[in-house]
Structure 1
Amino acid sequence: MIEQIRPAEVAAWFARDAGAAPVLLDVREPWELQTASVVPQGFALVAIPMNEIPGRLAELDPGQRIACLCHHGARSQRVAAFLAQSGFDTVANIAGGIDAWSAQHDTSVPRY
């Protein structure tokens, strides 16, 4: 089962394994990234649209801690499950997506 984390829990989730590179994988479309995006703080931000993940899987390292993000959490949940099935050991879904990020964690991020 894919771990569900709230936006405010992302930093603590990444900190569970200081030896693993923390990556927030944003799987939204480019126009969505232009509308609203998170500011990387203590993690790398990687943007790969959901439909491009299979073809670009080599851009991700299975040894990283990867938290997946989309608009509301459904696409990122599917990507997290795909990554887990593809041998990625430490993946999570950011529950509520960027909408929850804006509402609960960083109100400077626009909602759409």
Structure 2
Amino acid sequence: MIDHVRPAQLSAWFASAPEGSQPLVLDVREPWELQTASVRADGFELLAIPMGELSGRLAELDPTRSVACLCHHGARSLRVAAFLEHHGFERLANISGGIDAWSHENDPTVPRY
């Protein structure tokens, strides 16, 4: 099942993760988007893999780990979360509203584009 989590709720979603595993924010945006606006890892690991490269880099991800997917507004990240669920990942979230909502809810220093 894919949870839909607003950026302001993400730390609470991570807190419910199994003991001893560091959660992951998987940023699936393109490199130019990362240069424009990025989040700072705070209590989670941050990994950027563009959506188009994910199938070839799937082995870099641990299916037992909590993974929250991030994109610009939430559409690409939802598709990636569904892809991961299809490949056996169990604890998944789509960050609803994407980095645009992140700027509003978590960190106004993150540029909007």
| TM-score (structure 2 length as normaliser) | 0.96
Give the aligned length.
112
Q: Distance in 1 between matches of 2:12 and 2:2?
A: 17
Pairwise CA distance, 1:63: 1.1
- The 4+ residue runs of structure 1 with deviation greater than 4 A are none
User: What root-mean-square deviation, in Å, do the aligned CA atoms of Structure 1 and Structure 2 show?
Assistant: 0.8
Q: Secondary structure at the match of 1:110?
A: coil
1:95 aligns with 2:96: yes
The equivalences for 1:1-112 within 5 A come to 1-17=1-17, 18-112=19-113
Pairwise CA distance, 1:2: 1.8
| TM-score (structure 1 length as normaliser) | 0.97
Q: Distance in 2 between matches of 1:86 and 1:20?
A: 20
Pairwise CA distance, 1:35: 0.3
CA-to-partner distance for each residue in 1:45-104, whole Å, 9 max, x for gaps? 000000111110000000110000000000000000000110001010000000000012
Pairwise CA distance, 1:25: 0.2
| Percent identity of paired positions between Structure 1 and Structure 2 | 66
Question: 5+ residue gaps in structure 2?
Answer: none
